[in-house]
């Protein structure tokens, strides 16, 4: 049997008709003649759904392999299969958040090379963001990953040069992009930005030497006269030239305190306090330079990264500063940078590293307030007075009790107590005391010099040295008074707040949500592979951080919407593939069937699955 086509001329033109026919032998004519079994009617009015049902019914009579071969035909070839659902989901969310609209609304002409269309630049940047979220280990070959490993709508292929040009342009427009993306996301998701959480981290570079010092302004931006920064390669590609376009997001103000990193050579990494005042000092400093590493790698150059997030962990903005920048004054620079974002009243939440009096005074300016952690072992009279006040705790959760004490007329102090934390602190202290007791046992019989050496060894271990007391006669003893005072601090932390209206319970809960920033750093380093950074130019390092922030934005929204972790979501998405076929009429793609977890994910995200 076969499909027979006949043509007939009408006044409106030729018309083709389709029939199901088979050939029969005509003994009279001595040849095979077609016999019509069924007429499908006019070709332009064909009921294709009925034909599909007929083909499906006939296919059930065959072995699945034979049915596939019969319906596909010998001329149809299967070319490849690529993961599809991950990029499709991220792209749908990218467009729903309006990030593509924001990018297309900016000046999309790269600073170097021939101009690129705005659509191409936007697609390349999305591909780089998707690479961070889906396959960060391939960051060294992102273009190859886009070309051969995934399917991205509107980006069949790209090149390394196109990726670098897109990153160079991203660096130039990053501030306008971040404020545009924030307003798009805030309007779509109704983000609550009444509490804004800020913290910093560092990421190191496995280099033999730090970057060459260059002169910077009070924002940490390379001054135009010293903008010819070499990226360490044999050829300078011009990426270090300062175009003066955007205000820099860091501050490299040198306060003159030349902090040495322990090496024989001072690399210019004088401690930077981030203040906006130029005191006449030489502000020459490299971007990747030595500083206090939060990854315990003080032996390697680093940069400092800051991030502000909402109470739901949605990243609002990121900053980058030279590696020797001091945390203390950065929050003032951050507040200044957020001044033009037309945000409503904000309560800034930060840990005890930002609790200086200058920071608190600065954060109170305008209609803003703060919740800041305080050091319990501070010599401040206010801290000592707050800890010594009596009062009853109020239980707000299973493992948190709060007590507000009156010390100041302008600030409020809230003592938080975690019973589980108190048990843990007491256990750790008991272990330390047992270790210290073992070390100093029998030390009374040692010579004075040997006892001094033992004292020096213990001084290098802060946890043990805290509980060591030296008698007037030089004997080593456990400090019982110190043990008692430390026991009074078990499970406690102290908060300082300038908002007169926030309940004490909300102050404690708000501060505990600062863990969202820590979770953001953990995800950026462990899931998005912030490090290692293979770029050498300062502007591309900054662009790399912005790409990671955009990837974190997408996966955090997915996690918030689905109630599941990104690792679990990504596993489900990676199982959906798009197969590519070629045939006589061209090339087409077909996706695999959706599983129930995939359908549930699409439903929670409000994404309509593409038809097969």
Range from 73-87, 370-384, 465-479 carrying the lowest mean pLDDT: 73-87
Same domain, 157 and 63: no
Q: Which H or E element spans position 500?
A: none
pLDDT band, very low/low/confident/very high, at 76 (cuts 50, 70, 90): low
Same domain, 131 and 155: yes
Instruction: Give the mean model confidence (pLDDT) for residues 551-568.
Output: 93
pLDDT of residue 387 exceeding 60, the answer is: yes
Same domain, 439 and 337: no
pTM: 0.74
Same domain, 147 and 169: yes
Residue 180 lies in a domain: yes
Same domain, 203 and 269: yes
Range from 151-160, 246-255, 375-384, 449-458 carrying the lowest mean pLDDT: 246-255
Residue 313 lies in a domain: yes
Q: Are 551 and 245 in contact (CB under 8 A)?
A: no
The residue written with tokens 């499709």 in the block is: 88
Same domain, 210 and 280: yes
Same domain, 324 and 208: yes
DSSP per residue, 133-170: HH-GGGGGGHHHHHHHT---TT-S---HHHHHHHHHHH
pLDDT of residue 276 exceeding 60, the answer is: no
Strand partners, 469: 477
- 3-state DSSP assignment of residue 109: coil
Residue 268 lies in a domain: yes
Q: List pLDDT tens digits, range 173-224.
A: 988 899 999 988 888 777 777 788 999 999 999 988 999 999 887 767 788 7
Residue 390 lies in a domain: no
Residue 557 lies in a domain: yes
Same domain, 133 and 225: no
Q: What integer pLDDT is reported at residue 65 of this predicted model? A: 62
Enclosing domain of residue 554: 82-190+550-572
Same domain, 222 and 310: yes
Same domain, 63 and 100: no
Secondary structure of the chain: what % helix, strand, coil (to 5)? 40, 20, 40
Q: Which two tokens stand for residue 486?
A: 């430390």
Up-side HSE of residue 146: CA atoms within 13 Å toward CB? 27
Q: Helices 419-440 and 480-487: crossing angle, nearest 10°?
A: 170
Residue 39 lies in a domain: yes
Q: What integer pLDDT is reported at residue 238 of this predicted model? A: 37
pLDDT band, very low/low/confident/very high, at 67 (cuts 50, 70, 90): low
Up-side HSE of residue 106: CA atoms within 13 Å toward CB? 25
DSSP class of 411: -
Residue 383 lies in a domain: no
- Residues 602, 576: Cα–Cα separation, whole Å: 12
Q: What integer pLDDT is reported at residue 450 of this predicted model? A: 93
- Nearest in space to 248 (alpha carbons), one of 330, 319, 181: 319
Same domain, 279 and 267: yes
- 3-state DSSP assignment of residue 226: helix
Residue 117 lies in a domain: yes
Mean pLDDT of the chain: 83
In the listed set 35, 57, 74, which residue is the last one of a domain according to the structure? 74
560 Rama class: left (phi>0) / alpha (psi -120 to 50) / beta? alpha
Residues contacting 137, CB < 8 A, separation 6+: 529
- CA-CA-CA-CA torsion sign (204, 209, 212, 217): positive
Q: What domain count does the chain have?
A: 4
Same domain, 436 and 527: no
Q: What integer pLDDT is reported at residue 367 of this predicted model? A: 80
Q: Are 82 and 134 in contact (CB under 8 A)?
A: no
Q: What integer pLDDT is reported at residue 73 of this predicted model? A: 56
């Amino acid at each position: 049997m076969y499909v027979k086509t006949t043509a007939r001329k009408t006044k409106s033109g030729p018309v083709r008709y389709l029939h199901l026919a088979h050939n029969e032998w005509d003994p009279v004519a001595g040849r095979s003649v077609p016999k019509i079994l069924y007429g499908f009617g006019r070709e332009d009015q064909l009921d294709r759904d009925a034909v599909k049902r007929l083909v499906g019914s006939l296919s059930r009579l065959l072995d699945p392999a034979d049915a596939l071969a019969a319906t596909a035909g010998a001329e149809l070839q299967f070319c490849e299969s690529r993961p599809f659902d991950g990029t499709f989901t991220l792209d749908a969310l990218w467009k729903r958040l309006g990030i593509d609209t924001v990018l297309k609304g900016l000046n999309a002409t790269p600073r170097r090379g021939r101009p690129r269309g705005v659509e191409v630049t936007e697609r390349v940047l999305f591909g780089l963001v998707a690479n961070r979220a889906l396959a960060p280990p391939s960051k060294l070959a992102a273009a190859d990953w886009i070309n051969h490993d995934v399917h991205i709508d509107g980006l069949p292929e790209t090149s390394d040069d196109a990726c670098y040009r897109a990153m160079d342009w991203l660096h130039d427009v990053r501030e306008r992009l971040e404020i545009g993306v924030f307003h798009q996301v805030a309007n779509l998701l109704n983000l609550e930005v009444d509490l804004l959480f800020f913290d910093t981290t560092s990421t190191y570079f496995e280099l033999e030497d730090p970057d060459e010092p260059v002169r910077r302004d009070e924002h940490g931006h390379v001054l135009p006269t010293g903008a010819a920064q070499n990226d360490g390669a044999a050829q300078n590609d011009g990426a270090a030239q300062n175009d003066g376009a955007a205000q820099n997001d860091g501050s490299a103000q040198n306060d003159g305190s030349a902090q040495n990193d322990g090496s024989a050579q001072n690399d210019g990494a004088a401690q930077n306090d981030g203040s906006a005042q130029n005191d006449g000092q030489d502000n020459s400093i490299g971007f990747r330079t030595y500083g206090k590493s939060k990854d315990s790698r003080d032996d390697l150059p680093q940069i400092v990264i800051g991030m502000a997030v909402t109470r739901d962990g949605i990243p609002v903005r990121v900053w980058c500063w030279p590696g020797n920048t001091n945390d203390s004054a950065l929050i003032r620079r951050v507040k200044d940078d957020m001044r033009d974002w037309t945000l409503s009243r904000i309560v800034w939440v930060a840990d005890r590293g930002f609790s200086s009096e200058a920071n608190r005074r600065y954060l109170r300016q305008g209609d803003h307030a703060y919740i800041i952690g305080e050091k319990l072992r501070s010599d401040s009279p206010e801290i000592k007075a707050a800890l010594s006040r009596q009062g009853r705790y109020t239980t707000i959760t299973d493992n948190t009790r709060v007590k507000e004490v009156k010390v100041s007329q302008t600030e409020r102090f809230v003592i938080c107590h975690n019973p589980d934390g108190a048990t843990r602190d007491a256990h750790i202290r008991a272990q330390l005391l047992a270790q210290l007791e073992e070390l100093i046992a029998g030390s009374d019989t040692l010579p004075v010099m040997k006892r001094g050496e033992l004292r020096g060894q213990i001084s290098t271990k802060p946890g043990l040295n805290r509980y060591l007391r030296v008698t007037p006669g030089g004997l080593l003893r456990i400090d019982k008074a110190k043990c008692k005072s430390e026991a009074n601090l078990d499970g406690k932390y102290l908060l300082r707040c300038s908002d007169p209206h926030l309940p004490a319970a909300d102050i404690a809960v708000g501060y505990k949500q600062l863990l969202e920033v820590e979770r953001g750093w953990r995800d950026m380093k462990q899931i998005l592979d912030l490090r290692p950074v293979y770029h050498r130019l300062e502007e591309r390092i900054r662009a790399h951080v912005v790409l990671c922030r955009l990837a974190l934005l997408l996966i955090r929204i997915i996690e918030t919407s689905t109630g599941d972790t990104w690792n679990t979501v990504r596993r489900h998405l990676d199982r959906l593939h798009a197969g590519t076929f070629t045939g006589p009429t061209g090339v087409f793609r077909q996706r695999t069937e959706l599983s129930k977890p995939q359908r549930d994910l699409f439903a929670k995200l409000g994404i309509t699955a593409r038809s097969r």
